[in-house]
């Protein structure tokens, strides 16, 4: 009986199709690194930092204020290592801290977190990172440590940028701690504000290796719909023509400039949206761990369809010419 079951298992285990568009995976908890790598994903399109920090239970500022910066760096490096090692040499894009004030408040030492009327429009992402350079420096130092150990598969990704100056400022801070953007690490941005999408050319000029579309936030900001408000959740749609128009344009502009494009919002785990993204020419799609296999199949089918369509068109044109 057991042998039979094993046999069945063997039959259903299939080799994943090869795709030109890379299929990556999102990771929020470093402990999930091995499971994520076992999906065969082509890398990590989003490594969220929030859990690493929040699970320490202590506000990162407290580490700094108490002169325990080294401890913070060690803890971060240990966590990031789990992921970059499980995926080596495949790329891992580490997103700098992006926790809203209401989440920080729950931590030891978080009593001083300011109250905001609109945390989602407030002090989070790169704007906060730049206001608290000591924490950002600790993150960069942790990454530098891993680079020195030979991990050349790390990318730094900035969340919620809305102006190219933020990219320039973040690069300056990286250099201050000896981490060289574009050399030690790839350096890129999340496109998740309408402003970043609308002036993507200016971000390209500021020097970026890649962009990742953060459609969860991009949708809420383009449509003015709070992603956590149930009263308006029925109106929330990543496929709204305004969102898709921005997405398509960003991919087009980046392709022209040889800047890599990816997506790490929930839309990257949604088959019929992924079909559109492949058609727009996106370089990679980063999905949730449980969706990687399905998304790989979706991408493979869509690529095949597009190639056959193009071939058919070519043959038709040839036919017309020879008439």
Q: Using CB under 6 A as the criterion, which residues of the chain lie in contact with ligand PEP when the complex forms?
A: 46, 48, 192, 214-217, 264-265
Least separation, in Å, of the C-beta of 312 and ligand PEP?
36
Contact region with Mg ion (CB under 5 A), list: 2-10, 87-95, 211-219, 267-275: 211-219
Q: How far is the CB of 113 from ligand PEP (least distance, A)?
A: 18
Rank residues 248 and 301 by Cβ distance to ligand PEP and give the closer one: 248
Binding partner of residue 265 among Mg ion, ligand PEP, none, CB under 5 to 8 Å per kind?
ligand PEP
Closest distance of CB 265 from ligand PEP, Å? 3
108 forms beta bridges with 58
Tokens 């730094």 locate to: 156
CB of 145 to Mg ion, least distance (A): 26
Is 181 or 214 the residue whose CB approaches Mg ion more closely? Answer: 214
Q: Which stretch binds Mg ion (CB under 5 A): 129-137, 192-200, 205-213, 313-321?
A: 192-200
Q: Count the residues in the chain.
A: 323
Name which of 259, 292, 295, 294 is nearest 277 in CA terms.
Answer: 295
Among the listed residues 110, 119, 214, 268, the single contact to Mg ion using CB under 5 A? 214
From ligand PEP, Mg ion, none, interface partner of 97 (C-beta below 5 to 8 A by class)? none
Provide the minimum distance between the beta carbon of 219 and Mg ion in the complex, in angstroms, as a whole number: 10
Q: Which among 189, 60, 79 is positioned nearest to 135, based on CA atoms?
A: 60
d(CA 110, CA 58): 8
> Which of 147, 158 has the CB closer to ligand PEP?
158
Q: Applying CB under 5 A, does 129 fall inside the site for Mg ion?
A: no
Provide the angle, in degrees to the nearest 10, between the axes of the packed helices 69-87 and 133-148: 50
Q: Which is nearer to Mg ion, 30 or 214 (CB)?
A: 214
| Smallest separation (angstroms) from Mg ion to the CB of 202 | 20
> Quick one: what does residue 91 bind among Mg ion, ligand PEP, none, with the CB cut-off 5 to 8 Å set by partner type?
none
Asked whether the beta carbons of 90 and 25 are under 8 A apart, the reply is: no
Q: Which of the stretches 23-31, 39-47, 105-113, 187-195 binds Mg ion when contact is defined by CB under 5 A? A: 187-195
Residue 217 contacts Mg ion per CB under 5 A? yes
Query: Residue 264 binds which entry of ligand PEP, Mg ion, none, with Cβ cut-offs from 5 to 8 Å by kind?
Result: ligand PEP
283 binds, among ligand PEP, Mg ion, none (CB under 5 to 8 A by kind): none
In whole angstroms, the minimum distance from the beta carbon of 290 to ligand PEP comes to 16
Q: Which does 188 bind (CB under 5 to 8 A by kind): Mg ion, ligand PEP, none?
A: none
d(CA 249, CA 268): 17
Compute how many other C-beta atoms are within 10 angstroms of the C-beta atom of residue 88: 15
CB 273 within 8 A of CB 267: yes
Q: Report the partner that residue 164 touches, choosing among Mg ion, ligand PEP, none (CB closer than 5 to 8 A by kind).
A: none
Of 19 and 96, the one with the shorter C-beta distance to Mg ion is 96
Name the strands in the sheet holding 210-213, side by side, starting at the edge strand that comes first in the sequence: 260-263, 210-213, 186-191, 154-158, 92-95, 44-47, 22-27, 284-287
Would you tell me which residues interact with Mg ion (CB under 5 A)?
192, 214, 217
């Amino acid at each position: 009986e057991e042998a039979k079951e094993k046999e069945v298992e063997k039959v259903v285990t299939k080799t994943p199709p090869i795709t030109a568009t890379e299929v990556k995976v999102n990771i929020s908890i470093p402990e999930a690194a091995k499971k994520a790598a076992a999906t065969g994903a082509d890398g990590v399109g989003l490594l969220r930092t929030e859990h690493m920090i929040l699970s320490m239970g202590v506000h990162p500022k407290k580490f700094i204020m108490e002169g325990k910066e080294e401890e913070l760096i060690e803890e971060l490096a240990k966590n990031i290592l789990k992921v970059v090692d499980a995926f080596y040499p495949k790329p891992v894009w580490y997103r700098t801290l992006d926790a809203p004030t209401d989440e920080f408040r729950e931590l030891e030492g978080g009593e001083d977190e300011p109250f905001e009327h609109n945390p989602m429009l407030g002090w989070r992402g790169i704007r906060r990172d730049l206001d608290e350079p000591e924490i950002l420096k600790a993150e960069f130092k942790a990454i530098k440590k891993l680079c020195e150990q030979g991990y050349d598969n790390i990318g730094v990704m900035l969340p919620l940028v809305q102006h190219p100056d933020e990219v320039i400022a973040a690069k300056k801070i990286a250099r201050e701690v000896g981490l060289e953007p574009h050399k030690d690490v790839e350096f890129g941005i999340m496109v998740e504000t309408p402003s970043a999408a609308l002036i993507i050319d200016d971000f390209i000029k500021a020097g970026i290796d890649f962009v990742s579309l953060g459609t969860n936030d991009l949708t809420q900001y383009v449509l003015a719909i709070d992603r956590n408000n149930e009263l308006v959740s029925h109106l929330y749609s990543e496929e709204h023509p305004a969102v898709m128009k921005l997405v398509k344009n960003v991919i087009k502009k980046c392709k022209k400039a040889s800047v890599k494009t990816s997506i790490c919002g929930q839309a990257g785990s949604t088959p019929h949206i992924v079909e559109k993204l492949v058609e727009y020419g996106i370089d990679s799609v980063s999905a949730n761990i449980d969706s990687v296999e399905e998304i790989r199949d979706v991408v493979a089918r869509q690529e095949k369809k597009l190639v056959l369509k193009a071939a058919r068109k070519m043959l038709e044109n040839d036919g017309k010419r020879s008439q």
